[in-house]
Amino acid sequence: MRRAALSLLGALAAGCALQSPPPPDELQRQAMAHTQVPAHWKAGAAVEQPLAGGWLNSFDDAALQALVAEALAYNAELRSAAARVEQAGALLKVAGAPLQPQIGIAGLWSGAASSGGDGLNGIFLNLSLELDVWGRLRHGQAAAATQADAVQADYAYARQSLAAMVAKSWFLAIEATLQRAIVLDMAKAADELLRLASERQRIGPGNEQAVAEARANLGSARDALRQADLARDNALRALELLLGRYPGADVALAARLTPLPGPLPPGLPSQLLERRPDVVAAERRVAVAFHRVGEAKAALLPRISLTAGGSSISSDLFVLQSRDNPAWGLGANLFAPLYQGGALRAQLEVRDAEQKAAMAAYASAGQRAFAETENALGAEIALRERAAIVEAMVRDNERALELALVQWRVGTVDQRSVEQRQLALYGARTTRLRVQSEQLAQRVNLHLALGGAFDEAPAPAARAASAANP
């Protein structure tokens, strides 16, 4: 008997201690056993310097900072994410309530049908407290708390993603405006060539075919200008959607692209998973699944509750002994789930499957984080090399056009050669602008992939001061 009692006490003590989910490093080893994390990034230089925060300030663009602040304040999807954080906090309170005493009160009144007396009257007070011997309630509370952490990490990632999308949309809208300017220059050059071709036909050296070709070239340029207008308006509307504004394509833009900031130290791959909010959220959901499994296991065991109650009853119909002396009682309840059609075992199987799914989701998030970072680092290197190549292309095409115009004026080359050189030059300028814009976008992607934080931007009211004028 004594040995049995000691065994029971030992079991109760073991049941009272909650098992903790695996720490992040152990979770990584379990979930990503096949992923060998290198000491340094493969696509970048080996830099030990840690990643610095405040990436938004690194672009030194006050208008961009104001737009990010506006988006953080008014973006509908971000407000929805913030509401989910509040919801998770409320659910945590709900999960913790069963660990507290439950108190209820009830009243009774019944009239006497024949005599019109007061009949039977009484008040009942009940108090109950479940003894969380096996940790079922505490596992549920821990799951709710960990889920709140995951939702908070989701919100942090949503903020970072929104800031990144605003920045990239801002750069794209400026690029679209500058691309339109290039197309406009091309249209002006085509119009000038048409004028010169018509003049040559009038005075003798030209012919009708050259004029027709020049007119067709001008038509193509005008069509490209309309397309550029549409691209610019669409880029502005996409930005306005992020800001929560009406999509009227009337955002005031900067006159040039923001210069690319200096090189970014990416830190070490081993630090990435603990820095990225989306991976942290996935890790927290593994912990949630762990606690849900513990909760389901504890649900298979008996539940013990303490109860206390009191009552005071009076009646005009008959005499009660407890009329002037309220009755109180104290007791304990035991509920053991013997058979419920296999529902509890099935629920445990559900939780086990959810835990496996959470582990796989964590592995997927981690692998995606590594891939996005390597891609962003590789793109930055490739774009830097392309920028140098394209800059040389622009210079060479500018010189080639100058020579072609001279030769055309003296009659050594035809008009088609000039048009071809013009198209080559404007194509090179377009490519240069595209590469410059892509460099900025990829720098933002790199910050987002690395989980870098951005400093809080000015208040949304700063929009009037920083973005009201072109």
Measured distance CA(30)–CA(215) in Å, rounded: 68
Residues facing residue 306 across a β-bridge: 129, 332
Instruction: Read off the pLDDT band of 226 (50, 70, 90).
Output: very high
The predicted structure's pLDDT at residue 326: 67
Q: 179: helix, coil or strand?
A: helix
- We report the CATH number of the domain holding residue 438 as 1.20.1600.10
DSSP-H helix ranges across 204-275? 208-243, 272-275
pLDDT in tens, 127-159: 877 787 888 888 888 899 999 999 999 999 999
Any idea what the Cα angle at residue 119 is, between residues 114 and 122, rounded to 5°? 165
Q: What is the mean pLDDT of the chain?
A: 82
pLDDT at 448: 92
pLDDT surpassing 70 at residue 49: no
Decide if 122 is inside a domain: no
Specify the number of domains making up the chain: 1
Q: pLDDT over 70 for what percent of the chain?
A: 83
**Residues 6 or more apart whose Cβ sits within 8 Å of residue 249:** 232, 233, 234, 236, 237, 240
Domain around 418: 25-101+132-302+345-466
Residue 326 lies in a domain: no
Q: Nearest 5°: CA angle at 24, between 136 and 83?
A: 65
pLDDT band per the 50, 70, 90 thresholds, residue 462? very low
pLDDT at 45: 62
> What is the arithmetic mean of pLDDT over 116-124?
62
Phi, psi of 104 (to 5 degrees): -135, 155
CA atoms of 250 and 256, how far apart (whole Å) = 17
Q: Is residue 12 part of a domain?
A: no
Closest CA to 48 of 378, 269, 366, 377: 269
Please give the DSSP secondary-structure letter assigned to residue 127: E
Coil, helix or strand at residue 72: helix
The sign of the CA dihedral 289, 293, 294, 296 is positive
Q: Provide the percentage of residues in the chain whose pLDDT is more than 90.
A: 38
463-466's contacts with Cβ under 8 Å and 24+ in sequence apart are 463/66, 463/67, 463/69, 463/70, 465/66, 466/62, 466/63, 466/65, 466/66
Give the Cα separation of 84 and 81 in Å (integer). 5
What Cα–Cα distance (Å) separates residue 455 from each residue in 59, 78, 406, 440, 445? 12, 17, 54, 18, 16
| Cα angle, residue 168 at apex, residues 247 and 186 outer, rounded to 5° | 80
In a domain, residue 73? The reply is yes
Which stretches of 111-219 are assigned E, i.e. beta strand? 120-131
CA atoms within 13 A on the CB side of 334: 4
Predicted local distance difference test score (pLDDT) of residue 468: 36
Contact yes or no for 390/431 (Cβ under 8 A): yes
- What is the C-alpha separation between 1 and 405, in angstroms, rounded? 110
pLDDT at 15: 46
- For 338, the 3-state DSSP assignment is coil
**Residue 383 in this model has a pLDDT that exceeds 80:** yes
**Is residue 202 over pLDDT 90?**
no
Burial class, 382, CB count within 10 angstroms (exposed 0-12 / middle 13-18 / buried 19+): middle
Number of residues that make up the chain: 470
Token pair in block for residue 108: 């009774």
Residue 418: what pLDDT? 83
C-alpha 155/C-alpha 251 separation (Å) is 27
Position 11 in a domain = no
Tokens 């012919």 -> residue: 207
Q: Is residue 316 part of a domain?
A: no
Three-state SS for 354? Answer: helix
Strand partners, 127: 103, 308
For residues 444 and 167, the answer to whether their CB atoms sit within 8 Å is yes
Q: Output the six-digit token pair for 315.
A: 């009646």
Q: Which residues pair with 123 in a beta bridge?
A: 107, 312
Mean pLDDT along residues 264-268: 83
Q: Which residue has the tokens 């672009």?
A: 59
Q: Which of 423, 468, 60, 397 is nearest to 262 (CA)?
A: 60
Has residue 334 been placed in a domain? Answer: no
Evaluate whether residue 309 is within a structural domain. no
pLDDT tens-digit readout, 312-366: 665 554 454 445 556 677 777 777 787 777 888 898 899 999 999 999 999 999 9
Residue 123, pLDDT > 80, answer no
Task: Return the HEC string of 451-463.
Answer: CCCCCCCCCHHHH
Q: How far apart are the first and last CA of the chain?
A: 88
